[in-house]
Structure formats: structure tokens, C-alpha cells
Chain A
């Protein structure tokens, strides 16, 4: 499974070395979205049945099902709360960011 991550080798662009055309490598992520959140989804792994509903409905694709249970990529989750609302087992709660 391929989940993009923060790109580490972004060139230092300046007026002198901008790409000659408008092409750019796909999948470059220069900054995180974590700072957008005021609340964060917390998964109760004990109660997660691995139904994939939260994974499917996340607009940002930040929920992975690698271990058969939901896990959140907090680098890119914006805290919208769709996952908590859609979970049929109420095992995701939104908790305030400190």
C-alpha cells in the first residue's frame, strides 16, 4: 500500500533554477496539514471491527487499515470528524487538540 509522506528531497527552488516548463514530479508534499486540526480522531483499537467504513469515507485518505484496524495518519488528518460520525461501532472519538 502506497501512502504518500512528507517529501524530504524538495529542491531549493529560486528564480534561477525553476523548472523550465510547468511539469513537476507527482506526489510532492512540502508541508503537513496537522496544524489545521482543533480536534483529533482517536480510535479505540479494542472495539474496532475493521469494517473499513472510516477508511473509505475519509476525504483526505488518512485512515489506514494495515493491521486490519483503523489507524490515523495525524500528519495529514484535518480533524473533520467524518470517521467518528460514520463508525457503526462508535469506536472513534474526537478529542480536543492541546
Chain B
């Protein structure tokens, strides 16, 4: 389907005046999703950056309905809100959750799993900045190999995170979910199409959007969108969909040799040796099931 674009989405702003760091990728992911979903979206946000920056009393930077959930309970609170809205006889609404990588792949995973199992009619969006950024960059299970965080510091023996990034799309798809997708704020047209598509499907929908964090990644604030694009172009992040029991890749690798430049532009990867980078290239090739030039 052809999705919405900058001219067709509403000019209204529903996430405004928030206190996110300059150049925040997560804030962009939330802002754009709410513009696609419109004013009747009810947003659920667990502990994490987006609740920390959106609800600073007396500021309430969401112009639509929004609520903070427990850290582990994003999906279960969405279930409750959806049931409540239905019980009140309403039909013109979308229940959407915005949780970070830690709040989704670590702490909120069982609630998400239960929600998909019940097939509740909600959209779960995981904005992935690849660590617990709100509390000062601790490793999550979506932190990529090699990244230095405060709990996986780069030293002379261990060079950053020794584990690979968890494959969340496949975990979610294994539930037999009606619709799941990965996206990137570097490709907003693709992201907007996926949010729109999710809003038209009944049942549980899941979108995993890569949202770089200049603060935690150690990058310039104006590089956020470019990094999110490069991650896709180099094959370190895939744009894919899962629907009707099948996976579909939305975009091929266009810059296989760009990995070095992508990694070197971020302080969290500054310590990597050539050997480490070769390892990252090899695991990318393995994930894509082929050797790339």
C-alpha cells in the first residue's frame, strides 16, 4: 500500500514541547506515529525516555490522551484501555503503546506476549535506541555487539557488549501475530506506511522502530536521521514485515561497505578493533544468509 506522506498527515502536533534531548530519535518516532494515528489515539508509555520527557508536571506534552504505565505493563495497560473504550461503546480510537527497547525486549516482554496471545486490538511500538538511555545508557537485550554502555564498558579485556542484539521481530512473529514490522526513523515514509497499515488491521500489531540516541550513542545531534538511514543501508538493521504467516523484506542492502563509517561515527563503538568490526560484518552476513562484498 502507499502510505501517508508529509503533506497528507495532519499538520497538528500531538507531542510538543517535550524535554527530550536535542536530536532525539525516539521523540521523532512518537511524534510521527501520533500524526499518522490522529487525535483519537490513546497512548500508553511505560517508564522510559518518552514518559520522562513527556510528563514533567505540570507539563503534559501529549496533546492527545496519554498515560504512564508500569515498566513491565505497557501491553497489559493497553489491553485494559482498549477493553474500557469498547465497554463505553466507542469505536473511533486507536490504542497505541510506545516502549523503549528495555521496556519491550527485557522488562515488558511477558506482558507483550500475553497481549499478542489474547490478540487485543492495539498497536505496540518499540522505539529502539539500543540501551536503557533514560537511566544513563545501561545495556538491554537490544544493545548491539560491541557497544560500550555503563554496564558493558569497553576495557582492555572485554570490548563492550559481548552479546548479539536479540531478534525481536522473530520472537513476536513466533506468536502468530496478525502484523509485525521493523522500521527506521531514517526511512519515515516506510515507517508511516507501517503505522497506517497497522491501524487498519484488527488484532495485535507490533512495530519495532530503530531510533538513534545522540546522547547514548555518542553522536552529533544532527546525525540522528542519517545514522538511522545508514544502519539500514549497511544491513545492520532490516526493514521487514511479517503478515499472514510470512516475512517480507522491504529494502535490500545498498551500502555493504559503509559499516566501518557507521560504527566509527559513534563514540559507543570508538574502541572497536578491526577484528571486532570484521566480527560485526560476519554476523551481519550470517543474518542475511549470504556473504556480502
B partners with A: yes
| A interface with B by C-beta (< 8 Å) | 1-4, 10, 13, 24-33, 36-37, 52-53, 55-61, 64-65, 76, 78-82, 84-86, 94
Does B222 have its Cβ within 8 Å of any Cβ on chain A? yes
A80 touches B22 (CB 8 A): yes
- B59 and A2 within 8 A (CB): no
Contacts of A57 in B (CB 8 A): 28, 188, 225
Given A26-B62, A28-B60, A59-B31, also A4-B7 (CB < 8 A):
no
Q: Is the CB of B59 within 8 A of A28?
A: yes
Instruction: Name the contact of A26 in the complex, choosing from B10, B28, B64, B222 (C-beta under 8 A).
Output: B64
Do B188 and A65 touch (CB < 8 A)? no
Contact A59-B24, Cβ < 8 Å, known A26-B63, A27-B60, A85-B225: yes
The secondary structure that dominates the A interface is loop
B285 within 8 A of A: no
B contact residues, total (Cβ < 8 Å):
40
Task: Indicate whether B66 reaches chain A with its CB closer than 8 angstroms.
Answer: yes
Q: How far is the CB of B280 from chain A (nearest CB, A)?
A: 25
* Inter-chain contact A60/B32, CB cutoff 8 Å: no
Nearest 4 pairs of A and B residues by beta carbon: A81-B222, A1-B11, A80-B23, A52-B6
Residue contact A80 to B222, C-beta cutoff 8 Å = yes
Structural contact, A61 and B13, CB atoms closer than 8 A: yes
- Alpha-carbon distance between A52 and B31 when the two chains are bound, in angstroms: 15
Shortest B92–chain A CB gap in Å is 17
B210 close to A (CB within 8 Å): no
Interchain nearest-CB distance for A51 vs B (Å): 8
A79 to B226, CA, bound (A): 17
Within 8 A of A (CB), among B112-130: none
A30 touches B28 (CB 8 A): no
Determine whether the beta carbon of A60 is less than 8 Å from that of B18: yes
Does the CB pair B57–A24 fall under 8 Å? yes
Rounded to whole angstroms, the CA-CA distance of A85 and B59 in the bound complex is 30
Q: Assuming A56-B32, A57-B28, is B20 touching A27 (CB within 8 A)?
A: no
Q: A78-B22, A85-B222 are in contact. Are A2 and B13 (CB under 8 A)?
A: yes
Q: Which residues of chain A are near B255, meaning CB under 8 Å?
A: none
Q: Are A85 and B58 in contact (CB under 8 A)?
A: no
